[in-house]
Amino acid sequence: MLVISAASGAGKSSLLGRLFAAHPELMFSVSYTTRERRGQEREGEHYHYVSREEFEARLAAGEFLEHAQVFGHYYGTHVSALEEARLQGRDLVLDIDVQGARQLKGKLPEGVTVFILPPSRAELERRLRARAEDSEEAIQRRLREAAGEIARWREYDYAVVNREVDDALLTLEAILRAERCRRGRMEEQVRPILESFEADRESAGTETE
């Protein structure tokens, strides 16, 4: 489970888009949200869009691994996302904020967390303005929120500074490859290799005796 967080405007969406294009074996966790759709967003691809009442009912029923309120809207990861990834034997990638990442790490400490940072405040502001999606008030609010989120980067296992998306992608891919090679995750692959040497180990033991 790879958990990705970033301040709004840090380039996380572009980075994840390239990651999934390069690694179709990955599974994306589609979060639930109570906010309205934006632009070309599609149900089931970007988010599951539900009413506040439905979200709160699911929350009360314990259906979310994590949830948070951001700018007045609920966001949450449904337990079915992790269950489906486990059934298919695929790595699950979650795009969630710092509140949700902290909750998930508490429940699932084996999850790998990555924080994407902009190279500077000035560059973050430039990117927010270039999107031309927000009012001046919203931009200033996002910058204030970013200051608080970035201050918590030490809570994450890894940090990636997104100066240029191609370089940031290479770093994220390196994290993915390294985590896949951790001893605990290699058990199924290593077991048959060890078994293939079983006769040699027994023979060595006999010779020693």
pLDDT digits 0-9 by tens, 105-148: 988 999 999 999 999 999 999 999 988 777 888 889 989 999 99
CATH architecture of 2-208: 3-Layer(aba) Sandwich (3.40)
Task: Please say whether the beta carbons of 138 and 28 come within 8 A.
Answer: no
Dihedral of alpha carbons 17, 44, 145, 175, sign: negative
Tell me: pLDDT of 202 over 60.
yes
- The pLDDT value recorded for residue 206 is 55
Mean pLDDT to the nearest integer, 95-99: 89
pLDDT classification of 91: cutoffs 50, 70, 90 = very high
pLDDT digits 0-9 by tens, 56-72: 999 999 999 999 888 78
Encode 140-167: b = buried (16+ Cβ within 10 Å), e = exposed: eebbebbeebbeebeebebebebeeeee
Question: Can you tell me the distance from the alpha carbon of 35 to that of 202, in angstroms, rounded to the nearest whole number?
Answer: 63
pTM (predicted TM-score)? 0.84
User: Could you give phi then psi for residue 57, rounded to 5 degrees?
Assistant: -70, -45
Tell me: pLDDT of 50 over 60.
yes
User: Could you give phi then psi for residue 56, rounded to 5 degrees?
Assistant: -65, -30
**Residues 6+ away with beta carbon under 8 Å from 179:** 2, 112, 185
Percent of the chain clearing pLDDT 90 (strictly above): 64
pLDDT digits 0-9 by tens, 149-192: 999 999 999 999 999 999 999 999 999 999 999 888 898 899 99
- The pLDDT value recorded for residue 6 is 94
- The pLDDT value recorded for residue 144 is 92
